[in-house]
Chain A
Amino acid sequence: MRRIPVVIDCDPGVDDIAALLLAKNIEHFDIRAVTTVAGNVPLEDTTRNALQLLSFMSWDIPTGRGAEKPLAQRLVTAEEVHGKGGMSGLTLPETDRRVDAKPAWDLMYDAASEHPGRLDIIALGPLTNLAIALMKYPRLVEWVRRIVIMGGGILTGNTTPAAEFNIYVDPEAAKRVFTSGISFYLCPLDVTHEGYVTREDIAEIGAFDSKEARFFAEIIGRGTEIGKLYTKGRGVALHDPLALLFAADDSYFTMKECFIDVETGGSLTRGKTVTDCYSDQKMSSNGFLVQGVDRERFVDHIKRLLLRY
């Protein structure tokens, strides 16, 4: 099997951790690097969390340190959701692993240049690193096959009434990526809220015979209270794992090609993702909006991946 070269850009973050725990076991992915960005928590935390987690998983891949702050504004974090430190108050063993000598955007470029036209970038945090990569290396537009993004909210936001966190943190970076010409797939809150695990799912995973599955259950289980708000009490929404698994297998998702961009002005709507699925504005399509997920297959996919540990 010819594996797909992938870079995962993330801001761990509870659901980023969950996504990384799944990613290692996706057999047709050749994950070239994990890169970190400031978002859910500051960059020092997201980078330490990534290094400690990869060490905990005995997963030896380069870790690239990315941007400390958004392109054009101050960093906003979500410690009220992810806990101080970014892992819901959990800790992992100290590690002597260090970040790669090259920053996030250089690792993205290296991976792309080794596999021109084949690289998938999976972006699970604010899009700052990708925007910097695109500015520094214009050839990435030809070399990156597609970008799969967790971000945005069409009906509503979660950080402001209009804006979802990842896009709200760095609207200019999101705009840079959406308008880059690279094919992209956006997984907004509208679909990630349908990609939830129930208390029973978490208990089942927690009983799997591996430390990785147990850690997955433990860190996700801590989100049950806050998760209720977004899933109408049904469970915990797995935002980042949903985008990751969409990238791995889109056969149980629905999507629509349409115009997608970001409002960067506005008094209420800065950071809102705007999409044109049917309006009379008839904007030209530039990306794919992921709209639906078969939740049972999604949860089954998660369990299968965790059972491989």
Chain B
Amino acid sequence: MKKIPVILDGDPGHDDAIAWLMAFARPELEIRGVVSVSGNAPLEKTTRNMLQVMALLGVKDVPLARGAERPLAGKPFSAPSVHGKSGLDGPGLPEPTSPLSDLSGVQLIAKLLLESDEPVTLLPTGPLTNIAALLLAYPELKPKIKVISLMGGGLLSGNWTMTAEFNILVDPEAAKIVFESGLPIIMAGLDVTEKAFLTPGDFERIRAEGGAIAVIVAEWLEFFYRFHKARGYEGVPVHDPVSVVALVKPEILETRDLYVQVETSGEYCRGATIGDFFGRAKQQPNVKAILNIDRASYVDIIVEAVRHYGRKG
């Protein structure tokens, strides 16, 4: 089977970690590199979390790089209330086993694109700072990007503010650059990820798979659920892996081709993603927006990913 070459870019983050765990487990994907970004936690922490998650998953010989430390234009901020102080609070993780690349995140992505004999899929699950910087610094590499499957935004509503989702709000200017790039974009926004939730019953199903990774994933979800439970959620939305599912199991998703813009100003709307549902802007769709998911299948895919590591022992 021909594998889809993918570069992961995120700010782990519990749901980034689960997305990466899924991405490395899927036989359809070939992960060419992993890059961190400042977001859920400051860059030092997301970078350390990236290295520790790679050690946990037993990933070797995949280049890992430190990405952008701060947004293009805005002030950095993070989400300790959601992900804890480290950005990935909860169970202890193994010490890093692979070194960081000497290249910056943007340089590494550029190198991987350049070396690839086919266009590569980018999978950003944090703020879009690295991707925007790549497009600005290496415009000639655009043809080497097949699609950007991202987690970010929300057409109906935000979460961090009432209009803006966290990843977009952290770096609206970067998001604007990416959304206006003309590259194919698959958007897993809150519209779908709020429906992609796991319940405490699902956590137990994962734990029952057995093995160290199953326990850790269940504990991540339990930690992540604390924040959401206090807000009245019946489960925890596991946002980022939806972007992986978009590449490997699109049949469980409902999508709509839409023209989506990013607001960078305003009293309330900075960071809002605006979908043109009635064609008012008279523009061609630039985004495949995911609007719904078969939740039961989604849970199965996550359990299957965990099982993959169990078998390896």
Contacts and interface: CB of A to CB of B under 8 A. Distances in A.
Interface string A138-171: 0000000000000000111111111000000000
Interface in B267-313: 267-270, 272, 274-278, 280-281
Nearest to B259: A161
Interface string A241-279: 000000000000000000101011111111010111111
A157 to B, nearest CB: 7
Contacts of A101: none
Contacts of A265: 265-267, 269
Nearest to A269: B269
B98 interface: no
B231 interface: yes
A266 B275 contact: no
A161 B280 contact: yes
A240 B177 CA distance: 39
Contact of A277 (B157, B270, B276, B277): B157
A229 B269 contact: no
Contacts of A278: 157, 159, 231
B141 to A, nearest CB: 28
A283 interface: yes
Nearest to B232: A278
Interface residues of B, number: 29
A160 B161 contact: no
B40 to A, nearest CB: 14
Nearest to A157: B280
B160 interface: yes
Main secondary structure of the interface of A (DSSP, over half): loop
Contacts of B278: 156-158, 161, 229-230
B157 A156 contact: no
Interface in A116-145: none
A175 to B, nearest CB: 9
B162 interface: yes
A18 B274 CA distance: 31
B78 interface: no
Contacts of A162: 263, 269, 272, 274
B162 A161 contact: no
Contacts of B269: 162, 263, 265-266, 268-269, 272, 274
Contacts, number: 100
A160 B281 CA distance: 7
A154 B264 CA distance: 18
Nearest to B269: A269
A280 interface: yes
A281 B155 CA distance: 17
B235 interface: no
Given A155-B277, A161-B277, A274-B269, A268 B155 contact: no
Nearest to B260: A161
Given A261-B268, A263-B266, A155 B162 contact: no
A229 B279 CA distance: 10
Nearest to B281: A161
Given A155-B156, A155-B275, A158-B278, A281 B263 contact: no
Contacts of A230: 278
B160 A281 contact: yes
A270 B231 CA distance: 30
A211 to B, nearest CB: 34
B266 A259 contact: no
A276 B161 CA distance: 8
A266 B263 contact: yes
Nearest to A154: B156
B163 interface: yes
A264 B161 CA distance: 17
Interface of A: 154-162, 229-230, 259, 261, 263-270, 272, 274-281, 283
Given A156-B276, A269-B263, 14 more contacts: A155-B156, A156-B274, A161-B274, A161-B281, A162-B263, A162-B272, A266-B266, A267-B265, A267-B266, A272-B269, A276-B162, A279-B158, A279-B159, A280-B161
